[in-house]
Structure 1
Amino acid sequence: MSRLNKIIDAFEEGVIATILALMTLVTFWQVVMRYGFNTGWGGALQFTRVLFAWLILFGMSYGLKIGAHLGVDAFIRLFPKPVFRAFGLLGALLTLLYAALLFDADWFGWLLGLDNRGSSGGAFDYVARYYKLPIGMEDLKFPEWYQEMFGVKERVPRWWGYVILPVGLVLLGFRSLQMCWLIITGQRDTMIAAHEAEELVEENKDVLKD
């Protein structure tokens, strides 16, 4: 489990760093080309939008890992610590349920004995449908040399941009399970960071005196 956690940590951090670097480089290049040479890459805006969406969906799970998700716990802090931890565990379980439902909701309908009624199923099925359909991005195109070398169509397949949906939800589900374990074993009380401001004030209360 520890080895798997390290692999996922490295994967998340590597992808997030790469996305941030690419967004910065592409945006900087566009500014230089647009204002310096009155030209630019027509697909830059859509490219950075896709990267931003990837950053958000990777950030869901990474935020759980580093305790960066904010929450309001003023009410549940009034309860005894075991009850407070129970609320924290409930939050982690609900986050796991949220990830599972968005990944594929068919199992939930089957569990409750409900008909599908034309439901798309979830993120996995959504990406799988785009994988089968020859639909490309509006502005993102392959270079001509790439098209000739691999015999692909002009536009980048749309499912390339959407594949982060099931991947991000799987990572979120994994982190939710991890939070459940940490709360059950007493290593954490909750998965949110609600008292960051109070801790910062406490740490820096003597700064002005100096």
Structure 2
Amino acid sequence: MHTRHSLTDRIEENLIAALLGLMTVVTFANVVARYLFNSNILWALEVTVYMFGWLVLLGASYAVKKRAHLGVDAILNMVSAPVRRVMALFSVACCLIFSLLLLKGAWDYWSVFAELPPTTGRWFPTGFEWDARGQGWYEVQDIPMIAPLKFLEELLNYGESYEKIPKAIPYLVLPVSMLLLVFRFLQVAVGIWQGRVDRLVASHEVEDELHTVRAQQGEHD
């Protein structure tokens, strides 16, 4: 169990780090091109925006997994353990409902770009709208099509070639990240129900930093 968790941690952390690193490299390259060569990488800004979106959306679910979101637990610390458990279950239930709504909205927005049916129903899915018109021909604004993605022309664009990459590619993060968010909240809910944790978030970054500083000062004294 520990090995599996470590492996998933490394995958998520490396992906987030790679996105952050690529954002830095692309932005730096564009600055160099502009100020040293009086040129411009046309697709650099759009790539950076999409990578930032991936970074934030994937990072949100990872922070839930690590219980790293900031939260106010002053009231939780004042009540008894049974009351704290009930409050925590109520909080995670609200988060689950909200994340499920986000998942439905994310799927409905992305699916038409991927030539897949969006769901029916205003709030929660009641089925699939199979007659919905696909929008797989929609392209991004600046990012050019690359050879490894050419197979998507048959799947999404009726064999017609893409000049830019289809929107289905960068927008894929929407349903994926929301599905991860639902899964992470479910994990927290199970942990609270089983008594392994007693709250939804447990981030005390300032306290931890102060404790570290005090410990360092104590070593020097």
Q: Give the TM-score band, short-chain normalised.
A: 0.7 to 0.9
Q: More displaced, 153-162 or 77-86?
A: 77-86
For 2:113, the aligned partner's letter is Y
The structure with the largest helix share of the pair is 1
**Equivalent residue in structure 2 for 1:139, among 117, 121, 142:** 142
The residue aligned with 1:204 is 213
SS at structure 1 position matched to 2:161:
coil
Equivalent position of 1:15 in the other structure: 15
Tell whether the 8 Å contact from 2:146 to 2:165 is kept in structure 1 after alignment.
no
Q: Which residue of 2 aligns with 1:107?
A: none
Amino acid at match of 1:180: A
Task: Show the 5 A alignment for 1:162-173.
Answer: 162-173=171-182
SS in 2 for 1:15: helix
Greater RCO (Cα-Cα under 8 Å, separation 6 or more): 1
Report how far residue 144 of structure 1 moved.
8.8
Q: Given the two structures, how large is their TM-score scaled by the length of structure 1?
A: 0.79
Q: TM-score, normalised by structure 2?
A: 0.75
Query: What residue identity is the alignment partner of 1:138?
Result: Q
Unaligned runs of 5+ in 1: 105-121
Deviation of the 1:166 alpha carbon? 0.5
Q: Percentage identity across aligned positions?
A: 36
1:180 maps to: 189
Question: How many residue pairs get matched?
Answer: 191
After superposition, the Cα gap between the structure-2 partners of 1:138 and 1:20, relative to the gap in structure 1 and judged at 3 Å, is same
How much has 1:154 moved relative to structure 2? 0.4
Q: Is the CA contact 1:67–1:192 (under 8 Å) kept in the aligned structure 2? A: yes
- Structure 2 residue runs of 5 or longer lacking an equivalent are 115-133, 154-159
Superposed counterparts of 1:42-81, under 5 Å: 42-81=42-81
Aligned AA for 2:22? Answer: L
Q: C-alpha root-mean-square deviation of aligned residues, in Å?
A: 2.6
- 3-state SS in 1 of match to 2:113: helix
